[in-house]
């Protein structure tokens, strides 16, 4: 039996293998004509919804929240209070025509031709000019001034001064001042002090950093298959403060910011399911949905994170094609 069966089996398999490779065959690939169906709809994400409600276009949302606190040291850039301010005297001239006297308040600014700002130490009463025919003799008064800032760069030589507060008026060219001797007394040291600009810069930089980090931590908490839109994230600055005050003598100071980020998130699969079911309801009779052609784009139009709702604009599409009767096609191509 074995002497007959084994050789016989080998012969049969050899014949089958030969016929498989030798006989003609054809591979037929069917590519149906695909029509594209596109739709636009608005759905509501609601944290009170328990599940997807396709009929009401409502999908469940979840509320996420993250608090973030950052504390950082910043360098003080102001000059310390142990600086000395340069001071001296100037003579203010009044050439206004028609002649009249003027009174300027204490702290009136005088700008030197070198760009250094000085402030009047007291109230200034400038006598009127004297006019004789076409000749005008300016009225004048001697005023003590002090540099607006400390430092030896304000120890300037005799200079000409203007009143920047009068710029844009006719008096800007009628009232000016000169100094007959150099300003003295200005000095500075290496000590620093905190300025209001330092505090504001620290607040801006640290707040921006903390808000960015809070958003990233919030996004990391988003479960898989969930979506969080940038428009659906809200950030509140709970506190931003420093114990340092403007004018505090220090090389650096600490600033602290606390923010809270919150967001609404929803499942991507819920959006896809809504879009798929909506398109299926619109597919004409005798046609089939091309499953792998589903495209869903989304954006938010109105978000109330605190209230737990968001309106989401959907722009979705998919392909459909005529139903294919493969059995009938096989009969048609036989032979």
Calculate the average pLDDT of the chain: 90
Could you identify the residue written with the tokens 């954006």?
Answer: 299
Provide, for the chain, the percentages of residues in helix, strand and coil under a 3-state DSSP scheme, each rounded to the nearest 5.
25, 45, 35
* Residue 79: strand pairing partners: 192
Model confidence band, residue 142 (pLDDT cutoffs 50, 70, 90): very high
Give yes or no for residue 82 having a pLDDT over 80: no
Task: Please check whether residue 305 is in contact with residue 260, taking contact to mean a CB–CB distance below 8 angstroms.
Answer: no
Could you identify the residue written with the tokens 């079911």?
Answer: 277
Model confidence band, residue 88 (pLDDT cutoffs 50, 70, 90): very high
Q: For residue 257, what are the contacts with CB-CB under 8 A and spacing of at least 6?
A: 69, 70, 71, 203, 206, 207, 210, 237, 239, 240
Structure tokens at 105: 């308040």
- Output Rg (C-alpha) for the chain, integer angstroms: 42
Pick from 226, 207, 273: nearest CA to 57: 273
Whether omega for the bond prior to residue 82 falls within 30 degrees of 0, making it cis, is no
Model confidence band, residue 117 (pLDDT cutoffs 50, 70, 90): very high
pLDDT of residue 49: 92
Model confidence band, residue 81 (pLDDT cutoffs 50, 70, 90): low
Q: For residue 230, what are the contacts with CB-CB under 8 A and spacing of at least 6?
A: none
Give yes or no for residue 80 having a pLDDT over 70: no
Model confidence band, residue 30 (pLDDT cutoffs 50, 70, 90): confident
Structure tokens at 67: 């608090």
Nearest 5 degrees, angle CA 46-CA 49-CA 51? 120
pLDDT of residue 274: 92
């Amino acid at each position: 039996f074995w002497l007959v069966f084994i050789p016989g089996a080998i012969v049969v398999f050899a014949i089958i293998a030969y016929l498989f490779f030798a006989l003609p065959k054809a591979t037929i690939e069917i590519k149906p004509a695909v029509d594209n169906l596109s739709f636009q709809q608005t759905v509501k994400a609601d944290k009170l919804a328990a599940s997807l409600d396709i009929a009401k276009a409502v999908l469940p949302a979840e509320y996420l929240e993250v608090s973030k606190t950052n504390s950082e040291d910043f360098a003080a850039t102001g000059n310390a209070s142990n600086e000395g301010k340069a001071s001296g005297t100037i003579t203010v001239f009044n050439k206004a025509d028609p002649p009249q006297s003027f009174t300027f308040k204490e702290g009136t600014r005088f700008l030197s031709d070198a760009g250094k700002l000085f402030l009047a130490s007291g109230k200034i009463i400038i006598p009127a000019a004297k006019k004789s025919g076409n000749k005008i003799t300016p009225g004048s008064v001697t005023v003590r001034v002090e540099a607006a800032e400390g430092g030896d760069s304000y120890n300037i030589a005799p200079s000409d001064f203007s009143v920047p507060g009068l710029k844009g008026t006719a008096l800007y060219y009628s009232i000016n001042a000169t100094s007959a001797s150099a300003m003295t007394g200005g000095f500075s040291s290496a000590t620093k002090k905190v300025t209001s600009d330092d505090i504001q810069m620290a607040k801006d930089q640290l707040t921006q950093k903390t808000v960015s980090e809070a958003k990233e931590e919030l996004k990391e908490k988003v479960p898989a298959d969930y979506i969080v839109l940038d428009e659906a994230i809200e950030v509140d600055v709970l506190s931003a403060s420093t114990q340092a005050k403007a004018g505090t003598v220090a090389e650096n100071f600490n600033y602290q910011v606390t923010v809270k980020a919150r967001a609404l998130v929803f499942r991507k699969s819920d959006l896809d399911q809504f879009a798929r079911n909506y398109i299926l309801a619109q597919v004409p009779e005798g046609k089939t949905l091309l499953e792998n052609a589903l495209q869903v784009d989304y954006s938010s139009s109105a978000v109330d994170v605190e209230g737990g709702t968001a309106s989401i604009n959907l722009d979705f599409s998919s392909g459909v094609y005529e139903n294919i009767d493969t059995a009938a096609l096989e009969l048609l191509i036989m032979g």
